[in-house]
């Protein structure tokens, strides 16, 4: 408080989150582009730049290969826009989820060869593409991989593999998104071509923010800097595609953008094209300088997103029927599969199932070829990357992160896979790991919650992975009123203290119906500043509550 001149509430939150010195806290509260590390510290970075510059010197065409999610599309857009602006000959490709699947397909390698490309440049993929990298080299192409996914024991035989997760990497921050790695490396190339760092960053911070926030990487370190500055540049972007997308996705496009706007508004629409149709539409949106094409693509992505939501609800309802029918939720891991589920949507369904049942969830669709292709989502303490790696002989393919992964296996082995994965989960997870935990940063008295303190918490934005919204525990709090809203499932409430604090409990209608004025409970809340008709006031969002009537832990 004294050294930084900040309110006690903010100082207490920072201390609870592990900041031990005022200097550490100051750096966190004041992200600055000067905090970004030298791109050439990334493994193989210098060789990657050399190979890319060689392509320019020799007049060679470069094939940029991305991925079909937001991170992969924004990574490809960073490379394509920056290299084109610098005078490189570039062809850009993002895979079709249904026709090519995850990663680098032979079809893409053949296309690159047919187009006369001599350098095959990947982003957000390639670290485990041993066969297709070899195939590209057999066609006489050089290969540069820029990626951020976990790496195996051996690297592909590319000229350069730029990935901060490499075991021999000494890069100071390993949690960059694919767009972050592309941004850093494209900056290194731009500087090698004589461009100013500030010019490059101004041009591409909007795109790197999209990939970084949407890929749910930790918003700490460099990612916090890229997200914080990227959100400002997103709000002011001149790129017609992003401007059109913002106008479609957000109710008030004029207000400052938040990480939530990307995660819940822009990101799902950019993802929807790859899930329902072809990610090429999202790539075109990010690459176009034509306002008419931008509007057309933004409208299409909005329509795809509505179709995605409808398909998601259909599959989720069917999956939950199967889960309850066979009591799959009683095991420490859920594997559910069926024919006719849309392969582009099952990843979201896996996330919903993992969240609802609080277990690792594997969800697969069974194709006419007898192959079950799926997605998995996990809970803290259970690594999907490790479980898939440990069962390499079971899966036809598989890989990803600790909390999210893709896989395929012979549908005839689904029951065997369920048994073996459950056995692994039983060895890995304790019963307590399967109980969702609602945690608060600190415990406070309502009198300690004031406008200045809550307003200061905005300095911690952008919130996201590894930097969640602030949560406060209020012990033995007295309700001053409990009243339903126009929707009975949501309830407004007030609590006692020096100042009158009010809040809302979304989906707490049934639970809060037991309470009235004078009743007491322990609460976990998220404090925020609400604005209405020009007035700004403290409001609380109820996250969890416990009283003598409850049998669960907070």
Picking from 322, 409, 423, the residue whose alpha carbon sits closest to that of residue 374 is 409
**Does 452 fall in a domain?**
yes
Q: Are residues 388 and 503 in the same domain?
A: no
Q: Are residues 368 and 429 in the same domain?
A: yes
pLDDT reported for residue 435:
93
Residue 106 host element (H or E): helix 106-114
Contact between 334 and 360 (Cβ < 8 Å) = yes
In eight-state DSSP terms, residue 330 is G
Q: How far apart are the C-alpha atoms of 138 and 209, rounded to whole Å?
A: 36
**Does 485 fall in a domain?**
yes
Q: What is the token pair recorded at 301?
A: 């992505």
**Does 255 fall in a domain?**
no
Q: Are residues 106 and 190 in the same domain?
A: yes
The residue count of the chain comes to: 554
pLDDT reported for residue 548:
61
Q: Are residues 206 and 58 in the same domain?
A: yes
Contact between 539 and 530 (Cβ < 8 Å) = yes
- Per mean pLDDT, which range of 29-43, 364-378, 446-460, 491-505 is the poorest? 491-505
**Does 133 fall in a domain?**
yes
- pLDDT of residue 422 exceeding 80, the answer is yes
Q: Are residues 372 and 457 in the same domain?
A: no
- pLDDT of residue 552 exceeding 70, the answer is no
Q: How far apart are the C-alpha atoms of 250 and 246, rounded to whole Å?
A: 6
- pLDDT of residue 546 exceeding 90, the answer is no
pLDDT reported for residue 55:
98
CATH of the domain at 454: 2.40.50.140
Q: Could you say which of 183, 204, 223 is where a domain stops?
A: 223
pLDDT reported for residue 551:
39
Q: Are residues 461 and 430 in the same domain?
A: no
The pLDDT mean for the chain works out to: 94
* Predicted TM-score (pTM) of this structure: 0.92
Q: What is the token pair recorded at 253?
A: 């496009």
CATH of the domain at 91: 3.90.1640.30
- pLDDT of residue 150 exceeding 90, the answer is no
Q: Are residues 63 and 210 in the same domain?
A: yes
Confidence band for 547, pLDDT divided at 50, 70 and 90: confident
Percent of all residues in the chain with a pLDDT value above 90, rounded to a whole number? 88
Q: Are residues 410 and 537 in the same domain?
A: no
Total number of domains in the chain = 3
Q: 238-271, pLDDT tens digit by residue?
A: 999 999 999 999 988 778 899 999 999 999 999 9
Q: 166-192, pLDDT tens digit by residue?
A: 999 999 999 999 999 999 999 999 999
Q: Could you say which of 223, 254, 276 is where a domain stops?
A: 223
Q: Are residues 424 and 351 in the same domain?
A: yes
**Does 349 fall in a domain?**
yes
Q: Are residues 57 and 174 in the same domain?
A: yes
Range of the domain at 337: 326-434
- pLDDT of residue 103 exceeding 90, the answer is no
Confidence band for 554, pLDDT divided at 50, 70 and 90: very low
**Does 286 fall in a domain?**
no
Q: 316-335, pLDDT tens digit by residue?
A: 999 999 999 999 999 999 99
**Does 103 fall in a domain?**
yes
Confidence band for 446, pLDDT divided at 50, 70 and 90: very high
> Across residues 363-387, what is the average pLDDT?
95
Q: Are residues 333 and 389 in the same domain?
A: yes
DSSP notation for 31-90: --GGGSPPGGGSTTHHHHHHHHHHHHHTT-EEEEE--SSHHHHHHHHHHHHHHHHTT-EE
**Does 82 fall in a domain?**
yes
386: CB partners within 8 A, 6+ apart: 402
> Across residues 464-480, what is the average pLDDT?
94
3-class DSSP state for residue 407?
Answer: strand
Q: How far apart are the C-alpha atoms of 528 and 426, rounded to whole Å?
A: 40
Q: Could you say which of 434, 461, 476 is where a domain stops?
A: 434
- Per mean pLDDT, which range of 251-265, 402-416, 453-467 is the poorest? 251-265
Q: Are residues 487 and 542 in the same domain?
A: yes
CATH of the domain at 375: 3.10.310.30
């Amino acid at each position: 408080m004294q050294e930084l001149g900040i309110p006690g509430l903010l100082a207490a939150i920072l201390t609870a989150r592990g900041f031990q010195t005022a200097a550490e806290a100051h750096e966190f509260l004041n992200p600055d582009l000067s905090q970004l590390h030298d791109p050439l510290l990334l493994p193989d970075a210098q060789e990657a730049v050399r190979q890319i510059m060689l392509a320019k010197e020799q007049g060679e065409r470069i094939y940029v290969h991305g991925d079909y999610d937001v991170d992969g599309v924004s990574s490809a857009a960073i490379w394509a826009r920056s290299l084109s602006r610098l005078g490189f000959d570039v062809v850009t490709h993002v895979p079709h989820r249904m026709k090519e699947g995850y990663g680098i397909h032979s079809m893409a390698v053949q296309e690159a060869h047919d187009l006369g490309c001599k350098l095959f440049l990947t982003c957000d993929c390639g670290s485990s593409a041993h066969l297709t990298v070899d195939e590209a080299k057999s066609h006489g192409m050089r290969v540069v991989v820029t990626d951020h996914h976990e790496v195996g024991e051996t690297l592909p035989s590319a000229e350069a593999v730029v990935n901060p997760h490499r075991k021999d990497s000494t890069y100071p921050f390993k949690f960059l998104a694919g767009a972050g790695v592309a941004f850093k490396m494209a900056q290194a190339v731009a500087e090698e071509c004589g461009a100013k760092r500030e010019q490059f960053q101004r041009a591409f911070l909007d795109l790197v923010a999209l990939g970084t926030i949407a890929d749910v990487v930790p918003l700490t370190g460099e990612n916090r800097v890229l997200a914080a500055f990227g959100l400002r540049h997103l709000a002011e972007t001149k790129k017609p595609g992003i401007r059109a997308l913002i106008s479609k996705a957000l109710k008030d496009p004029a207000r400052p953008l938040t990480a939530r706007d990307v995660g819940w508004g822009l990101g799902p629409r950019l993802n929807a094209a790859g899930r329902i149709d072809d990610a090429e539409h999202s790539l075109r949106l990010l690459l176009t300088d034509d306002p008419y094409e931008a509007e057309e693509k933004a409208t299409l992505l909005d329509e795809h997103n509505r179709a995605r939501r409808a398909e998601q609800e259909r599959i989720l309802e069917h999956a939950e029927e199967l889960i309850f029918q066979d009591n799959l939720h009683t095991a420490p891991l859920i594997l559910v599969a069926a024919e006719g589920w849309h392969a582009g949507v099952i990843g979201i369904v896996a996330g919903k199932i993992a969240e609802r049942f609080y277990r690792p969830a594997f969800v697969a669709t069974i194709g006419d070829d007898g192959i079950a292709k799926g997605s998995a989502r996990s809970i803290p303490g259970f690594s999907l990357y490790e479980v898939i790696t440990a069962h390499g002989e079971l899966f036809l393919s598989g890989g990803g992160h600790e909390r999210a992964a893709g896989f395929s296996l012979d549908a005839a082995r689904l029951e065997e896979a369920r048994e073996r994965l459950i056995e692994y989960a039983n060895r890995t997870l304790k019963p307590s790991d399967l109980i969702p935990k609602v945690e608060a940063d600190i415990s406070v008295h309502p009198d300690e919650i004031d406008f200045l303190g809550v307003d200061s918490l905005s300095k911690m934005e952008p919130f996201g992975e590894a930097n969640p919204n602030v949560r406060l525990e209020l012990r033995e709090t007295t309700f001053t009123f409990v009243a339903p809203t126009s929707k009975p499932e949501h309830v407004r409430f007030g609590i006692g203290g020096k100042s009158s604090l009010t809040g809302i409990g979304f989906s707490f209608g049934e639970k809060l119906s037991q309470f009235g004025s004078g009743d007491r409970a322990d609460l976990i809340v998220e404090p925020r500043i609400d604005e209405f008709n020009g007035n700004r006031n403290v409001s609380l969002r109820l996250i969890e509550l416990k009283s003598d009537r409850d049998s669960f832990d907070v």
